[in-house]
Amino acid sequence: MAEELRVLLQYADQINPESADDYVKVGGYKGLEKARSMDRKALIDEVKKSGLRGRGGAGFNAGMKWSFVPQDAPIKYVVCNLDEGEPGTYKDRIICEKNAQALLEGMAICGTAISSKQGYIYCRGEYPFVVELLKNAIKSAKASGALGDFDIEVRMGAGAYVCGEETALIESIEGHRGEPRFKPPFPGVEGLWAAPTVVNNVETFACLPNILANGAEWFAGIGATRYPGTKIVTLTGDIENATYFEVPTNVTLRDVIFTLGGGVKNGKKFKAVQVGGTSGAFIPEQNLDTQIDFDSMGSIGAALGSGAVFVLDETRDIVDVVTRISKFFEHESCGKCNPCREGTFRLREIMEKVNAGRGTTQDMDNLLLLSKVMQKAALCGLGQAAPIPIESTIKHFRYEYLRKI
């Protein structure tokens, strides 16, 4: 029987998220104090030992990422990814609204580890109220002295999905058009204004205060062994409890949907769930006993991604849903690389044809072939992931395509 485990959201609605004093009263800023008492290597080793992996989608080990930053560089930056453009995802907004000081503390811990004095939070353009909240939270933290000489500024996006990709985000902060860069060099070596830069997700940063305050072993002991800790999942679609939950990473998808989520809305039957946002795979009933951790999701050909859980009931037309998703990707492709610019256009074109009942089985083969090319050849994760909803539904819901054909 799955239950929530509130670590990041433990004091939700009990403290004012803007107030550093409130946060200190519930044990806040103890992690940063501990971090400052450690040397750089010991601090990074502690984060590595905790097993904390990125919560923004790629699941990279946070301590490992920090260790790539060259120590001798004169200027380094800490960047927080609050772009949260993935449809169905709103966990980072919730973290800010309930526990903004933990995010600031986490960024300052990272700043201590890489000896950076400057952080930036890149906030989704559709969250103007979060920008205000964060500015007030930063003011309060600075006034209380908690952040020491670490400064944080908030920058606002303008609604482009691709600006969540870390290098496009960096371009955007620099004032350029938001397009991904070629990697390598990775931001840890050459990032914002060519200086070494750590980019982490809001949830990743917000995990850090407790890791430092309670120790790496404590964190490593929660949830799944290879992706420890908690995860905030956001439930949308045909689900009774369309809300968010913080759960240990070893709960199963079935628990999230049927125990916490209350099951499919209006007593209807389950058809599919798309996990990780619009770029995630559609998962059928037989895979629901999979744990939501990064590796377990990977083992069924899906991805945990941002932790969005989008449920479809038995009445939903999968081909129609996927056609709409293909329009989203065509619209959001930045156009920098050919496989994505042309590929998202063709995927949408073929999906519309199939959805309108004018498709052939050759179209399905073409969709699968194009999927392979895009996954291998697109410059960034947008073009690489755009075909995943199509590929996964042709695999698991082939009969729905054939019925339209």
Ligand X SMILES: Cc1cc2nc3c(=O)[nH]c(=O)nc-3n(C[C@H](O)[C@H](O)[C@H](O)COP(=O)(O)O)c2cc1C
> Is 58 an interacting residue with respect to ligand X (CB under 6 A)?
yes
> Is 263 an interacting residue with respect to ligand X (CB under 6 A)?
no
- Between 9 and 162, CB nearer to ligand X: 162
CA distance 114 to 197: 9
CA distance 38 to 240: 47
> Is 63 an interacting residue with respect to ligand X (CB under 6 A)?
no
Work out which of 116, 201, 210, 392 binds ligand X, going by CB under 6 A: 201
Contacts of 358 (CB under 8 A, 6+ apart): none
Pairing label, strands 308-313, 270-275: antiparallel
Helix (H) or strand (E) run with residue 200 in it: strand 197-201
Region binding ligand X by CB under 6 A among candidate stretches 129-137, 142-150, 318-326, 379-387: 379-387
Q: Which two tokens stand for residue 281?
A: 């795979």
- Between 65 and 271, CB nearer to ligand X: 65
Count of Cβ atoms closer than 10 Å to residue 188 Cβ = 20
- Between 287 and 306, CB nearer to ligand X: 306
Site size for ligand X (CB under 6 A)? 23
- Between 85 and 248, CB nearer to ligand X: 85
- Between 166 and 238, CB nearer to ligand X: 166
Helix (H) or strand (E) run with residue 351 in it: helix 338-355
Work out which of 17, 28, 31, 54 binds ligand X, going by CB under 6 A: 54
> Is 330 an interacting residue with respect to ligand X (CB under 6 A)?
no
> Is 229 an interacting residue with respect to ligand X (CB under 6 A)?
no
Least distance CB 138 / ligand X (angstroms): 19
Count of Cβ atoms closer than 10 Å to residue 384 Cβ = 19
The mark string for 71-110 relative to ligand X (x by CB under 6 A, - otherwise) is: ----------x-xxxx------------------------
Angstrom distances, CA of residue 181 to CA of 168, 192, 297, 374, 400:
7, 12, 28, 17, 38
Q: In one letter, which amino acid is 2? A: A
| Secondary structure letter of residue 180 according to DSSP | P
Work out which of 319, 380, 388, 390 binds ligand X, going by CB under 6 A: 380
Tokens 């907004």 -> residue: 93
- Between 113 and 260, CB nearer to ligand X: 113
CA atoms in the 13 A half-sphere facing the CB of 15: 25
Least distance CB 372 / ligand X (angstroms): 18
> Is 170 an interacting residue with respect to ligand X (CB under 6 A)?
no
The mark string for 13-52 relative to ligand X (x by CB under 6 A, - otherwise) is: ----------------------------------------
> Is 195 an interacting residue with respect to ligand X (CB under 6 A)?
no
Least distance CB 59 / ligand X (angstroms): 7
> Is 293 an interacting residue with respect to ligand X (CB under 6 A)?
no
> Is 307 an interacting residue with respect to ligand X (CB under 6 A)?
no
> Is 261 an interacting residue with respect to ligand X (CB under 6 A)?
no
Outline where 145-230 has alpha helix (H): 166-173, 202-214, 216-220
CA distance 80 to 171: 14
Region binding ligand X by CB under 6 A among candidate stretches 93-101, 288-296, 356-364, 380-388: 380-388
The mark string for 333-362 relative to ligand X (x by CB under 6 A, - otherwise) is: ------------------------------
Q: In one letter, which amino acid is 103? A: L
Least distance CB 182 / ligand X (angstroms): 14
CA distance 52 to 60: 8
Work out which of 34, 55, 91, 181 binds ligand X, going by CB under 6 A: 55
Least distance CB 169 / ligand X (angstroms): 7
Helix (H) or strand (E) run with residue 199 in it: strand 197-201
CA distance 88 to 280: 11
**Is 169 in contact with 199 (CB distance < 8 Å)?**
yes
Q: Which two tokens stand for residue 381?
A: 């994760």
Q: Which two tokens stand for residue 235?
A: 């439930």
Least distance CB 234 / ligand X (angstroms): 13
Provide the 3-class DSSP secondary structure of residue 239: strand
Count of Cβ atoms closer than 10 Å to residue 157 Cβ = 23
Binding site for ligand X (CB under 6 A): 54-58, 60, 81, 83-86, 161-162, 164-166, 199-201, 204, 380-382
